[in-house]
Amino acid sequence: MVLFVSVCGKILGPMRTLGIFCLLVAATVTMENHAVAKARPNIIVFLVDDMGWTDSSVYGSTFYETPNLSRLAGQGMRMTQAYAQPLCSPSRAALLTGKYPARIGMHQAITGQSKPNPIVPAAANPRQVVVWPQSRSHLPLSEQTIAEVLREVGYQTWFLGKWHLGAAPRFWPQQQGFETVIGVGGAGPSGGYFAPNNIPALQPGPDGEYICERLTDEACSLISRRGDDPFFLYLSHFNVHSPYEAPAEQIERFAAKMDPANEHQNPVMAAMLYAMDQSLGKIMQRLDDEGIADDTWLFFLSDNGGIHWHNMKGQYAERFPVPVTSNAPLRGGKACFYEGGIRVPMVVRKPGKIAAGAVCDVPVHMIDLYPTLCQIAGADVPRELSVDGVSLLPILTETGSLDRSRLFCHFPRSKTLAGTVGGSFVRDGDYKLIRLWFSGEQGTHAYELYNLKQDVGEQSNLAEQMPQKVAEMAEALDVWLEQTGALLPRLNPKSN
């Protein structure tokens, strides 16, 4: 059957008809895809560095001032049991991949000692009892990040700030799904928080410019210039990581409030948190000004617990000889597996989906953001990926529960900042079992068991009282370590 079509009164032949037909179909599909993409909500992940669980007025501080985070919590849901990894690089890998970092061999912050293909060495220095695993030096390009998934379904993908997942240029965010990248920092801002500094992929600013404010202005500019397609903004602040620097007037304001009786009393930390909170307020205001606050999911969280020891240098070190912060009533802090190192603030807002002022006590984890954002965007989680997280939408919208009973962490290192050897843990309901690798008698493992509902400070070890519970949870931990292919420490055959 030969088809003809009339265009502007002219009869066209079959081949030209077929060509026009294909163009019309392509144009229709393009318009439909654009309409679908445009209907998807915007997504913002606002990540803070080294902000402890209680480092805000929302979570109980009477010294720190975070009015915008309080406003966000009043408009959305506050999580009371949100978890990250003990250190920044593994946490950021978990966020972007939805996987426990044990799956990719990353359990430490990336340093010059990290390895492209980590292993457990055959032996170590004879003075060491244990051979500890190496940690990966970058997020593998083979991982399909949440940015890549969202980009495939029509999202604009923007990254700003601290990356710390691999060196330039091969392992930068441009290679992991982000089309717009402004600043690619490592552990802290290279050259300090005030310009002139030297932060890769960021045009130098005027002298005295504070990096927190600069990243905020850049993010607001992107929002205002966004175009028609939805956006995924990953604003990854350096605040409140070292070096400890903030506008002098704010430091002095908080110095006047210092009270030795307060768990929180470091004015530099307070000023850095306040600057971060002002950034959050500007982002929220820009969403309001653009009329898109109701169309945007906003996730606020930190990458690990706060630093609970004196770690300042420079002009304020002697003047304020106090710990950077306190995670009390939690035990420990950054770089340890106790609650102070892994339980973090997390607040989520989406008008029309999340009830204002809601509070959630369900344990959640950074790995959960991946499937959550996929579901928000109407994207499928790639089946071939070993994603460990679960979507949080049922609890965020209060329409259901999470199909998960356990959370895990693998943190093998010779010594933690809690003063213990490295460990792994499993949380099952209210109970948390920690395995201290080879720290028992004759090279056995030692265990600590806590009921977090009754003992959030992890002070009462129940392991000896509940051996059956220890055995049950230790078995679950063994299964998980095997399933993830975690690099496990071993006894050193050359040990004296």
Tell me the per-residue pLDDT of 405-446, one tens digit each, with 9 for 90 and over: 999 999 998 877 767 788 999 999 999 999 999 988 878 999
Predicted confidence (pLDDT) at residue 4 exceeds the cutoff of 50? no
Counting residues of the chain whose pLDDT is more than 70, the rounded percentage is: 92
* Distance, CA of 375 to chain centre: 18
Across 231-259, b (16+ Cβ under 10 Å) vs e yields: bbbbbbbbbbbbebbbbeebbeebbeeee
According to DSSP, residue 228 is labeled: S
Strand ranges inside 228-333, DSSP E:
231-236, 296-302
The pLDDT confidence band at residue 38, using thresholds 50, 70 and 90, is low
- Bridge partners (DSSP) of residue 44 are 233, 298
pLDDT in tens, 224-247: 999 999 999 999 999 999 999 999
* Distance, CA of 369 to chain centre: 9
Please state the rounded mean pLDDT for residues 383-391: 91
**435 vs 26: which has the higher pLDDT:** 435
CB-count burial class (<10 Å; 0-12, 13-18, 19+) for 35: exposed
φ, ψ (nearest 5 deg) of residue 5: -135, 145
In this structure, is the dihedral angle defined by the CA atoms of residues 331, 389, 133 and 135, taken in order, positive or negative? negative
pLDDT in tens, 204-213: 999 999 999 9
Q: What homologous superfamily is domain 42-407 in, according to CATH? A: Alkaline Phosphatase, subunit A (3.40.720.10)
Q: What is the mean pLDDT of the chain?
A: 92
Predicted confidence (pLDDT) at residue 12 exceeds the cutoff of 60? no
Please state the rounded mean pLDDT for residues 267-293: 98
Strand ranges inside 14-145, DSSP E:
42-48, 77-83, 130-131
Predicted confidence (pLDDT) at residue 299 exceeds the cutoff of 50? yes
Please state the rounded mean pLDDT for residues 461-473: 98
The Cα–Cα gap between 90 and 303 comes to 9
In this structure, the chain runs to a length of 496
- Helix, strand, coil % over all residues of the chain, rounded to 5: 30, 20, 50
Please state the rounded mean pLDDT for residues 78-95: 98
Query: Using an 8 Å Cβ cutoff, are 188 and 243 in contact?
Result: yes
- Residue labelled with tokens 């070096």: 243
3-state secondary structure at position 210: strand
CB-count burial class (<10 Å; 0-12, 13-18, 19+) for 41: middle
Query: Using an 8 Å Cβ cutoff, are 148 and 176 in contact?
Result: yes
Predicted confidence (pLDDT) at residue 58 exceeds the cutoff of 80? yes
pLDDT at position 266 is 97
- The neighbour count for residue 261, using CB atoms within 10 Å, is 5
Q: Hey, what are 298's tokens?
A: 């906003």
> What pTM did the predictor assign?
0.91
Predicted confidence (pLDDT) at residue 389 exceeds the cutoff of 50? yes
How far CA 266 is from CA of 134, 188, 301, 336, in Å, comes to 35, 19, 21, 22
66, 482, 476: which is closest to 239 by C-alpha?
66
Neighbouring C-alpha atoms within 13 Å toward the C-beta of 287? 23
Predicted confidence (pLDDT) at residue 378 exceeds the cutoff of 90? yes
Q: Where are the domains of the chain?
A: 5-35, 42-407, 409-491
Predicted confidence (pLDDT) at residue 308 exceeds the cutoff of 80? yes
- Bridge partners (DSSP) of residue 299 are 45, 348
pLDDT at position 6 is 40
**167 vs 372: which has the higher pLDDT:** 372
What top-level class would CATH report for the domain 409-491? alpha beta
Fold match, 42-407 / 409-491:
no
pLDDT at position 33 is 46
Please state the rounded mean pLDDT for residues 5-18: 46
Amino acid symbol at 67 = P
The pLDDT confidence band at residue 10, using thresholds 50, 70 and 90, is very low
DSSP string, 419-479: SS--EEEEEETTEEEEEETT-SGGG--EEEEEETTT-TT-----TTT-HHHHHHHHHHHHH
- The neighbour count for residue 402, using CB atoms within 10 Å, is 15
